[in-house]
Structure 1
Amino acid sequence: MNLADMLCYADIQQLSNIASTYECECNGHSKNDLIQSILSRVSRRDVFERQVSTLSTEDIRFLNSLVFEKRELFSLEELMARAQQSNYDSPGDGRNPREMIAQFKHRGWLFNGYSQSTKYLFQLPVDLKRRFTDTMALSFGQNLNYADEPSVYRDEHKLIVDDIAHFLHYTFHEEVVLTGDGSIYKRNLHQLLDRMAVKEEPVTKGGWRFGYGRKFRDLPSRFSLIYDYCYYQDLLLEQPGRLELTDKAKLSVMEGRREDLSEVYRFWLKLYKGPIPNLQSLVYWIGKLADDWVSASSLGSVLCKLIRPFYYDSPEAIYDQRILQMLMHLGVIRIGEDEQEGKTIAVTRLGQSLISGTYVSDEETIPIEFDNMTLH
């Protein structure tokens, strides 16, 4: 429902609170006057932008966690959890989650359901979602440094799809040995990495690597994604001591099929949403703000505030290595170099199509086990 509809179902106490927030001058005893006055104030761009501009970083994180959800209803427990998770800079010192929710209600951004079955649930007006993203994009954009198109840039387009085919082709024709812990035998791994269109070095021992896939500990990031994609798509069989293809994969190799890049991109979202819960919204912002060449560091200064650290991965490392680097591997962005701005990025036409055409719900997140824990 839109804001006007929700105001009609709201009780006069909430309407009075909203009217007070927006400094409405009207008859506080008339529900109709309250509604008309609120709508008049909220519809003004300067008033709405002023409300958004006063939000704290925690508020923006909380709002960001809601506006990209396709479902409309949230329980109080869900909202409390999201509000709590938005305060990770100084846990224990932030605002009470109930206060954040109450503040959003007073702004007319959260309403209780109106039916018997939804009166204990909360919803965000649908028409405000677009206004939120447009207003925040305007605010974020003021901190960005744009650049000219670089003379040389890296665009991997659909190379990851080709390399999935190369991996399957190699496994079809060669014996791929697995060690006792399920890792690919070193000689096979070197041969596989040499066949990839995008070169990666084998993972060195000693550093921490977990959370971003089943094989992330043992394989470099891009090839780890390729391996896990094939595994979850039922293309690989991990037999004792060897890796084989399923009948489905064998047929694919013999017929020379290629995987659909949109499915690989969707899989990446599902796999990385565990350690980066708001990944989908971050990718949306990259698509919105990097439609032209933009300084990666200036974009990072905006988006890293929305990224929660993951164990030893800082927001900056997640932004650069787990998001930008992987988006380039997926053909979503190009990466270049500018003399003044340094590293620059731009979303490709293919990338815009993938971002706008893909939605992954929280329930689709792939759980990853590590150290006897399961990451959802």
Structure 2
Amino acid sequence: MNLADMLSYADIHDLSRIAGTYHCECNDHSKHELIQSILSRVGRSDVFERYVDELTIEDIRFLNSLLFDQRGSFSLEELLARVQQSKFVKDEAETDWNPREMITRFKHRGWLFNGHSQQTRYLFQIPADLKRRFITALSKRFEERMLLTDEPSVYRDEQKLILDDIWHFLHYLQGQEVMLTSELVMYKRNLQQILERLAVREEPVGKTAWRFGYGRMFRDYPNRFSFIYDYCYFSDLITEHHQVLALTERGKAAVIENRKEDPVHVYRFWLRLYKGPIPQLQSIVQWLNRLGGSWVTLSSLKETLGPLIRPFYYDSADAILEQRILQMMMHLGLLRIGEDEHKGTVIQISKLGSRIIEGTYVPDENPLVLDV
């Protein structure tokens, strides 16, 4: 529903509070006048954009968690959890911070409403037309910070290479059974043989202080291949029965039929796999699609989107954006990464990437459970 619809269902006390927020001059005993006055004020671009400009970074993070969520309603518990997640650094001196205050403030501005039916009265909704206006207003703000560049002389565009390499991995397993360690990890010789077959070369993982969070086999295999392995495992293409890595019947059929995976399925899997450590992943990708149609600098993306990304243990927001999001999106064929002589690293969303991102949504309630 749009704002006008939600206002019509709101009681007169809620309408009076919203009208007071926007300094509406009208008869506060007339529901019709209140609604018309609120719509008139909120409908003005200068008024709406002023309130958007006054948002704190926590407000923007909370709003960002809602804008690209296609569900119509949220429970109070869900909203409170999202508000709490919006505060990355807890200030010891700020003992009176209350997440409910942000929800109340959004309600008083007419940005959140309780449902009107018996089933939805305890749920909260954001007007659909305001969602679109928020996205437009924030896009304008973010675009002003983008530093555009010409096409670099050299850039990486992996297109659909990951689909080929998934097949090459399966093809390798067709001819032999690969023994696994007691921790279900391939031995170095087999791993090296597989990595040498892939179009995008990676080195085996060395001894590092930590590697966890980004997949079932992320600790043991390099970033791109660990993703390929996890995709094959969760897609029932491979099995690890009795410490032997082998193809399933579905995996055998894919090799025999020379069948490549659907890039949309691979992208959806990445969203599910990485959204545990990066809860904001889906919205960040949506912003990248809006901001990266032309070549833009990595530094301006970090400055703009970095504050929306919650650090994950030793991964800073910048590291997550660069290594976990942009690098993986390049591997998935969603974007190109190049180097500008003067402006450093630059990126551009590919046409394939834009089409996949715009047409794909993964619900938050569809998590991937890692069985480790």
SS of the residue aligned with 1:277? coil
Superposed displacement of residue 367, structure 1: 2.5
Write out per-residue CA displacement over residues 312-345 of structure 1, whole angstroms, 9 at most, x where no aligned residue: 1111111110000000000001001112211000
Partner of 2:22: 22
Question: What is the aligned residue count?
Answer: 370
Taking the aligned partners of 1:184 and 1:175, their CA distance within structure 2 comes to 11
SS of the residue aligned with 1:147? coil
Taking the aligned partners of 1:213 and 1:330, their CA distance within structure 2 comes to 16
Taking the aligned partners of 2:362 and 2:207, their CA distance within structure 1 comes to 33
Partner of 1:220: 222
SS of the residue aligned with 1:240? helix
Partner of 2:66: 66
SS of the residue aligned with 1:197? coil
Question: Does structure 2 retain, via aligned residues, the 8 Å contact 1:235–1:246?
Answer: yes
Taking the aligned partners of 1:25 and 1:290, their CA distance within structure 2 comes to 43
Partner of 1:126: 128
SS of the residue aligned with 1:77? helix
Question: Does structure 2 retain, via aligned residues, the 8 Å contact 1:333–1:346?
Answer: yes
Partner of 1:374: none
Taking the aligned partners of 1:95 and 1:222, their CA distance within structure 2 comes to 41
SS of the residue aligned with 2:145? coil
Partner of 1:49: 49
Q: Which structure 2 residues correspond to residues 1-376 of structure 1 after superposition, within 5 A?
A: 1-90=1-90, 93=94, 95-368=97-370
Taking the aligned partners of 1:91 and 1:248, their CA distance within structure 2 comes to 52
Superposed displacement of residue 43, structure 1: 1.0
Taking the aligned partners of 2:320 and 2:89, their CA distance within structure 1 comes to 16
Superposed displacement of residue 88, structure 1: 1.6
SS of the residue aligned with 1:368? coil
Structure 2 runs not aligned, ≥5 long: none
Taking the aligned partners of 2:243 and 2:61, their CA distance within structure 1 comes to 46
Aligned Cα RMSD in Å? 1.2
Name the amino acid aligned to 1:59. Answer: D
Question: Does structure 2 retain, via aligned residues, the 8 Å contact 1:105–1:111?
Answer: yes
Write out per-residue CA displacement over residues 336-364 of structure 1, whole angstroms, 9 at most, x where no aligned residue: 11122110000000000110011001121
Percent of aligned pairs sharing the same letter: 62
Q: Which moved more, 1:325-334 or 1:239-248?
A: 239-248
Taking the aligned partners of 1:333 and 1:90, their CA distance within structure 2 comes to 35
Taking the aligned partners of 1:114 and 1:81, their CA distance within structure 2 comes to 23
Name the amino acid aligned to 1:233. Answer: S
Superposed displacement of residue 369, structure 1: 5.7
Write out per-residue CA displacement over residues 221-249 of structure 1, whole angstroms, 9 at most, x where no aligned residue: 10001000000010111022321000111
Superposed displacement of residue 91, structure 1: 5.5
Superposed displacement of residue 174, structure 1: 2.8
Question: Does structure 2 retain, via aligned residues, the 8 Å contact 1:143–1:302?
Answer: yes
Taking the aligned partners of 2:253 and 2:29, their CA distance within structure 1 comes to 72
Superposed displacement of residue 173, structure 1: 1.1
Taking the aligned partners of 1:103 and 1:289, their CA distance within structure 2 comes to 29
Taking the aligned partners of 2:30 and 2:155, their CA distance within structure 1 comes to 61
Write out per-residue CA displacement over residues 101-155 of structure 1, whole angstroms, 9 at most, x where no aligned residue: 0000011000011112211111000111111111001011111111111111110
Question: Does structure 2 retain, via aligned residues, the 8 Å contact 1:179–1:241?
Answer: yes
Taking the aligned partners of 1:270 and 1:253, their CA distance within structure 2 comes to 25
Superposed displacement of residue 190, structure 1: 0.4
Taking the aligned partners of 1:82 and 1:73, their CA distance within structure 2 comes to 14
Taking the aligned partners of 1:280 and 1:99, their CA distance within structure 2 comes to 26
Superposed displacement of residue 175, structure 1: 3.1
Question: Does structure 2 retain, via aligned residues, the 8 Å contact 1:274–1:367?
Answer: no
Taking the aligned partners of 2:355 and 2:341, their CA distance within structure 1 comes to 30
